[in-house]
Structure 1
């Protein structure tokens, strides 16, 4: 059996690949994602891979044509791709999540694939006012104030129409509860809590009491169990909708017990919502209040149908799943794909391959001839520049998520951020001063620089990407000088010079990416009457190597 997985590198996608590899019926797996993973690492090894844009920056006909070719000879397609951020760009989210599902379904029909398995969600359901467990017949009209829920409900309606138009194709929909695993901790923090959330403080102590919105109940399921459910759906070919959940539902007391003190204080939902809205408006928290609305209103699910028809049983309770997530959040854990990348302190193994081998070997002995003050000032200046560079490149990737250059920008941002953390660790290992106030000023300055209009006030200027690509090229060239300096003086610092030689060589590849981004931007930026960075403008003629496809976090 050949299976294609669309959105194969995120939280659920990674778990699905693991589960498919364990099924004897599955002989070949094709992974599709916007940013391809390291194919040498499991579960990505053993799969074929391709990058296809299902709708972010490609017109529908191109997306369907590319997907149709990829699906040729496939026995089942598992569609997991779903874009969570940016909250503010509803057109992009709708184009990827709802229209993208339509593109996948069209391609399934065109390629003659006999079975389509789609990731729906508990978020597709209409509000429930009780704690009774509801089966799959509960209305799936969504929660109106949640964009995620509204789009999941729209996806369900689209699938209803597809099933009516194509009775020859077996259609399976899985509706998982909140889905967590340790490897998704950093992804969940980025998408919902933000970098400012003090989750690492969980290692240091406990809150006097856990604040909980009054009436909150949580039904969670482990990603590995969800992955096994998708693999079982493929193997059993059971049609229809299936709730994927555990039986235990966590209220305020159970949640407080997980935090290890058992004390909680219930807060008015309206007050929590107002605080979340304010935090979201300032950019402190990525999640908007719609996520709280969905969490408070979705029904408790009854998962007995999956148990009967899939012979599926969860191997983790909701409490065990959340306990694992909390521990992973405190440690900044992540996985081996770009969406699952760990927090800064844990990401070096995947982001910067070679340099991680010199970690934890104690403080190097700096030769007496080295002026420690000058060296510290020099490295701190480079760290200041790196901090500004990370902010800029990540902002570029975020701002152009709807363009063909997104995948390259996003991967480059990941690499540059990992290098910044390596430099910070080198300064710390050498016992030099980090001068954090300089990095803070650099961070603030880069954020303030975003306020310039470049000739537009309320819309994205087509000139901005040209200027930002030029600034990043200069920064990357300057960074090479820092690595060359460390390579030359590595013996005096007790460091491995090969590490910095490898980093210097990486600069050429980074400049190639920025040259391609600049070429894309400069060709479009100064033409009147042309919308430079929309799906319509970037559809036909898009290089598939630059394509993007949302990573799954269904």
Structure 2
């Protein structure tokens, strides 16, 4: 099969390339990224196209890259700069519109869109929901709002074109973790002046005791994507590991003492420090952590014969192992995290939460 992957060098994309390399058949794989990685390791057997899906010219470039594709896997998304929500909107909503339009014009057989637990509405925290739960998002989170808008756009596209529409599958994973993404994830989540090595040394974890979130390893998400492609499946699929991760599990993995701090207090601190540019994560991410439901994955188990090979707690431990060892890959999004480089770029290009491009 010819498979084209947008965002192929990021967290999920890197895991998906690993998974495709283990397939019995050899696939023709193309990667769409803003900054192509060096042809090393898992990035070697990929034909790379440098396309920024947020640009007005992306549609025509994508249509050319999609020509002859059996499946397009749309992973490209923006997480920073959190202070430039217009850019994040162009990547998420504009980029997805360009991908869908290009796939339609190129006659692509199937589009696999990476949605998220963040697309789900509030109202069932700590309880499991299936794919019928409303996808209206969490209003305080730009990430969640954009996931919700994109889901509605995909539905409108399918309704408008009917049988002539590209067949679409939507994966809705929990929070996706893996060791090799440690540097990339903490580049976006940790203030640039703090080294990664401090994370495993935290003596206390100030967190609301009610925390209960769905977590999944990137390898299990990648396996679900491959199963969707192999079966040419359509519709929405929840994917998450078990058991759900709570505050005490996070504290245990860190070797820290949990201390109860109400989520409202934490939210105020996160919001104030974000507005002061002291750290790069907006309050919406914390609100999601204390609002999104757990995931009922029965449909993925039944229709895809999918089951997670990593428990949620093992996925968290894998990430923290990566943090301890400064794990990274050769791709630009997952490159080594350097405090010196982050501080230098903060002066030359602006803070990661504010600069034009992360």
Determine the structure 1 residue equivalent to 2:328.
Answer: 334
Query: Cα 1:333–1:171, aligned 2, differ >3 Å: closer, same or farther?
Result: same
CA gap of 1:388–1:120, structure 2 versus 1, over 3 A, is closer
Counterpart among 216, 222, 225 of residue 217 in structure 2: 222
Q: Distance in 2 between matches of 1:331 and 1:97?
A: 31
- The change in CA–CA distance for 1:388 and 1:99 in structure 2 (over 3 A counts) is closer
CA drift of 1:175 comes to: 0.6
SS in 2 for 1:210: strand
- Residues 95 and 388 (structure 1 numbering): CA distance in 2 closer, same or farther, change over 3 Å? closer
The answer (yes or no) to whether the contact 1:3–1:26 under 8 Å persists in 2 is: no
| Aligned mates of 2:223, 2:342 — CA distance in 1 | 41
Q: How far has the Cα of 1:77 moved from its partner?
A: 0.3
User: Is 2:58 aligned against 1:63?
Assistant: yes
Separation in 2, partners of 1:304, 1:246: 12
Structure 2 unaligned segments of length 5 or more: list them: none
Q: Once superposed, what is the RMSD of the aligned Cα atoms?
A: 2.1
CA distance in 2, matches of 1:77, 1:170: 10
1:294 equivalent in alignment to 2:288? yes
Write out per-residue CA displacement over residues 174-223 of structure 1, whole angstroms, 9 at most, x where no aligned residue. Answer: 011100111111111121222234641245x451x422124111221111
Structure 1 residues 239-286: Cα deviation after superposition (integer angstroms, max 9, x where no partner): 10001101211222222222235x422111111111111211222210
1:417-456, aligned counterparts within 5 Å?
A: none
The residue aligned with 1:36 is 36
Residues 1:176 and 2:184 are matched in the alignment: no
Matches within 5 A, 1:225-264: 225-260=220-255, 263-264=257-258
The Cα shift of 1:327 comes to: 2.4
Q: Distance in 2 between matches of 1:222 and 1:393?
A: 35
Helix, strand or coil at the partner of 1:395: coil
When you count helix as a share of all residues, which structure comes out higher? 1
> What CA distance in whole angstroms lies between the structure 2 residues aligned with 1:22 and 1:69?
28
Whole-angstrom CA distance in 2 between matches of 1:257 and 1:290? 25
When Rg is computed on C-alpha atoms for both structures, the one with the higher figure is 1
1:75 aligns with 2:30: no
Structure 2 partner of 1:5: 5
Question: Which residue does 1:161 correspond to in 2?
Answer: 156
Whole-Å separation in 1 of the counterparts to 2:351 and 2:259: 41
Map 1:144-543 → 2, pairs under 5 A: 144-166=139-161, 167-168=163-164, 169-197=166-194, 199-203=196-200, 205=201, 207=203, 209-260=204-255, 263-344=257-338, 390-395=345-350, 399-401=355-357
Query: SS state of the match for residue 72, structure 2?
Result: strand
Q: 1:64 to 1:251 in 2, by over 3 A?
A: same
The answer on whether the counterparts of 1:190 and 1:286 sit within 8 Å (CA) in structure 2 is no
The aligned counterpart of 2:52 is 53
Q: Residues of 1 paired with 2:176 and 2:19: CA distance?
A: 15
- In structure 2, what is the equivalent of residue 16 of structure 1? 16
Q: Residues of 2 paired with 1:247 and 1:20: CA distance?
A: 24
Using the size of structure 2 for normalisation, the TM-score is 0.93
Contact 2:213 2:293 in 1 (8 A): no
Partner of 1:27: 27
**Higher share in strand:** 2
Q: CA deviation at 1:388?
A: 8.0
Distance 1:333 1:319 in 2: 19
Q: Between Structure 1 and Structure 2, how many residues are aligned?
A: 355
Structure 1 gap ranges (5+): 346-382, 402-409, 411-554
The 3-state SS of whatever aligns with 1:174 is: strand
- Deviations 1:429-483 (Å, cap 9, x if unpaired)? xxxxxxxxxxxxxxxxxxxxxxxxxxxxxxxxxxxxxxxxxxxxxxxxxxxxxxx
Report the CA distance between 1:53 and its aligned residue. Answer: 2.1
Q: Is the 8 A contact 1:247 1:302 kept in 2?
A: no
SS in structure 2 of the partner of residue 50 of structure 1: strand
Partners of 2:355 and 2:254 in 1: CA distance: 36
CA contact (8 A) 2:19 2:223 kept: yes
1:232, CA displacement in angstroms? Answer: 1.3
Q: CA deviation at 1:21?
A: 2.0
1:23-79 CA deviation, whole Å, 9 max, x = no partner? 23452000110000011x121111111111212xx32xx321111111111101000
> 2:91 corresponds to which residue?
96
Q: 1:145 to 1:231 in 2, by over 3 A?
A: same
Displaced runs of 4 or more, over 6 A? none
- Distance in 1 (alpha carbons) for counterparts of 2:28 and 2:14: 15
Instruction: State the secondary structure of the residue aligned to 1:43.
Output: helix
TM normalised by structure 1 equals 0.61
Q: 1:202 to 1:289 in 2, by over 3 A?
A: closer
Q: Relative to 1, partners in 2 of residues 1:198 and 1:396: Cα closer, same or farther, differing over 3 Å?
A: closer
CA distance in 2, matches of 1:101, 1:390: 29
